[in-house]
Amino acid sequence: MLRKRPYIAAIFLVVLGLVFGATLVTGFGSWKGMNLAFGASDPSLGGPLPSLPNDATIANLNGSFVAIAKAVQPTIVQINVKTEAPKISKNDKNNPFHFFGFGDNGDDEGMPFQFHMPQQGPEEGIGSGVIITTDGYILTNNHVVKDAAKKGGVQVKMTDKRVFDARVIGTDPTTDLAVIKIDATGLPVAALGNSDDIAVGQMVFAVGNPMGLESTVTQGIISSLGRPVNIFDRSETNNYGISNFIQTDAAINPGNSGGGLFNIRGEVVGINAAIASQTGTWMGYGFAIPINLAKEVVTDLIKTGKVNRGYIGVTIKGVDQTEAQALGLDRPRGVRIDQVTKGGAGEAAGLRENDVILSVDGREVDESNQLQSLIAMHHAGDHVTLRIWRDGKELEKTVTLKPRPEANEVASNDTGSDEEQSTEESASKSTATLDNIGMTVRTLTPEEKDKFHVSNGVMITDIQPASEAFDRALPRGAVVTEAAHQKVKNASDFERIVNANKGKAMGLMVTDSKGDSHFYALRVPSE
């Protein structure tokens, strides 16, 4: 019996090994380490599709995005511009609002042109454009092509890689728009939408050539409308620049200038023009020119090479709450006329300083840029009907628009007669300090009246910090000629008028050293 035990033990070990081997192959075969050890097939990666609500809607939306991009990309071109080297860099790097579209072909390619340093020889930049006719008219920005060399300065590259020389047909610095032309036929043309129909929150697509990346599409929403972004070269536009921009968060960058902002129907609703940035590249804020304004400009530029725009001939400002109360309005609304241009359309129609324009042809206006844009869509000779607030009443004025004057001459104050100055004035005190509004004034001398071209008034000699006058930005060294609709004869007269209006808002007519008259409103504390 004892001799048989080694054999039994051996048989037992063999059986145990077979069982263990079979278990490894069948039971643990899915274990990654065993798979690798025994040469099993590759592991199965990924899992089942997630269960999503409205997956068909999502797929349709994605398909729509693809279809829109495919449809509109051929209508956007890349514009290559060769310009003379700038003598002086005029732009302020610290200004957060910049044009974009120009970039060196050097190490800082794609940076906006305001960061360019003067160089020897020409510069090259990249912008974008929208094809608007089958025979080669292209809409872009004025700042993209305005400095192009006369010979061979502009080239256009299509999405199908064809390249054409282009000529500048016309530019409009007032709106930052321009039209160029290539010799071609049968071109794909962008559909032009109606920018009056757009609303904040609507989905849009920006198409252009940012950073030299051809035919790029980005998507976002309309973030705001009617933005008065000050991006114009005032020396060029003579203070007539029209700032009424569409704001979008669709990513746009240097090179997008002149490209299209499209709605979900594939229609152009804006022409991309600027970004708000501290770096020169996209930080979430882009601005486009409304296409309805562009349509009017383009038609004139194609026909005549220039814009026959009509002007009222007034300088204007928005109305805040204090000014509204001083003018007798129920709430801040409309646009106040600050000055009336001598010989302009507004003067001929009987418009006056401090009239408040409430509407144009039935369309309400509450901001200066709104009024500018509405008038900019009309030509010289057109008639517009203005609803006016004057002296507590509404009235209508029909204005026949005139072309822009050569010089910005404004109506001067009525000099009147020195005989209006009474003996009481000469006997009054010469200065008055009004602590309640934080202002000190002095009666004018005859020489100062001649200098300011006024017959009456008081000189503002001091403004106290953190006072009502300080907050309303009244200027030292200017002359108050009228307060609360009353002529100001001297310092005592001004003090009397101010104290009579305690607890109220009142308006002041103030003349500066150039002889220009401006309206200021301030609130006189009750105590």
Q: Give me the mean pLDDT over the 63-76 stretch.
A: 92
Is 513 labeled as catalytic in the residue annotation?
no
pLDDT at 108: 35
pLDDT at 407: 35
- Same domain for 123 and 229? yes
- Same domain for 137 and 209? yes
Nearest Cα neighbor of 126 from 279, 217, 254 is 254
Q: Any idea what the CATH number is for the domain that residue 378 is in?
A: 2.30.42.10
- Same domain for 272 and 146? yes
- Same domain for 168 and 230? yes
Q: Which of 147, 172, 176, 493 is catalytic?
A: 176
Q: Which residue has the higher pLDDT, 527 or 202?
A: 202
What helix, strand, coil percent values describe the chain, rounded to 5?
A: 25, 30, 45
- Same domain for 290 and 369? no
pLDDT, one tens digit per residue, over 414-464 is 333 343 344 344 445 688 898 889 999 999 888 888 888 888 999 999 998
Q: Give me the mean pLDDT over the 503-521 stretch.
A: 87
Please check whether residue 262 lies inside any domain of the structure: yes
- Same domain for 339 and 444? no
- Same domain for 103 and 250? yes
Q: State how many domains the chain has.
A: 3
Tell me which of 256, 272, 307 is where a domain ends: 307
pLDDT, one tens digit per residue, over 217-242 is 999 999 999 887 665 554 444 456 67
Q: Give me the mean pLDDT over the 102-131 stretch.
A: 50
pLDDT at 222: 93
Furthest-apart CA pair in the chain: how many Å? 153
- Same domain for 225 and 302? yes
- Same domain for 94 and 153? yes
- Same domain for 480 and 394? no
Please check whether residue 58 lies inside any domain of the structure: no
pLDDT at 277: 67
Lowest mean pLDDT among 8-17, 186-195, 218-227: 8-17
**First vs last Cα of the chain: how many Å apart?**
126
pLDDT at residue 30 greater than cutoff 50: no
pLDDT at 19: 57
DSSP annotation string for 416-437 = --GGGS-HHHHHS-SEEEETTT
Please check whether residue 132 lies inside any domain of the structure: yes
Q: Which of 243, 257, 368, 373 is catalytic?
A: 257
- Same domain for 368 and 456? no
pLDDT at 120: 38
Residue 179 — very low, low, confident or very high, per pLDDT cuts 50/70/90?
A: very high
- Same domain for 297 and 340? no
Residue 93 — very low, low, confident or very high, per pLDDT cuts 50/70/90?
A: very low
pLDDT, one tens digit per residue, over 251-285 is 888 888 899 999 999 999 999 987 766 666 767 78
Tell me which of 262, 288, 307 is where a domain ends: 307
DSSP annotation string for 116-185 = PPP-SS-EEEEEEEEE-STTSEEEE-HHHHTTB-TTT-EEEE-TTS-EEEEEEEEEETTTTEEEEEES-S
DSSP letter assigned to residue 113 = G
pLDDT, one tens digit per residue, over 364-392 is 988 888 888 889 888 889 999 999 999 99
pLDDT at 143: 87
State the Cα torsion 144-99-245-333 to the nearest 10°: -130
What is the rounded distance in angstroms from the CA atom of residue 33 to the CA atom of residue 38?
A: 9
Report if pTM > 0.95: no
Is 300 labeled as catalytic in the residue annotation?
no
Q: Which of 98, 116, 128, 143 is catalytic?
A: 143
pLDDT, one tens digit per residue, over 142-174 is 988 887 755 558 999 999 999 999 999 999 988
Is 107 labeled as catalytic in the residue annotation?
no
Q: Which residue range(s) make up the domain with 513? A: 418-523
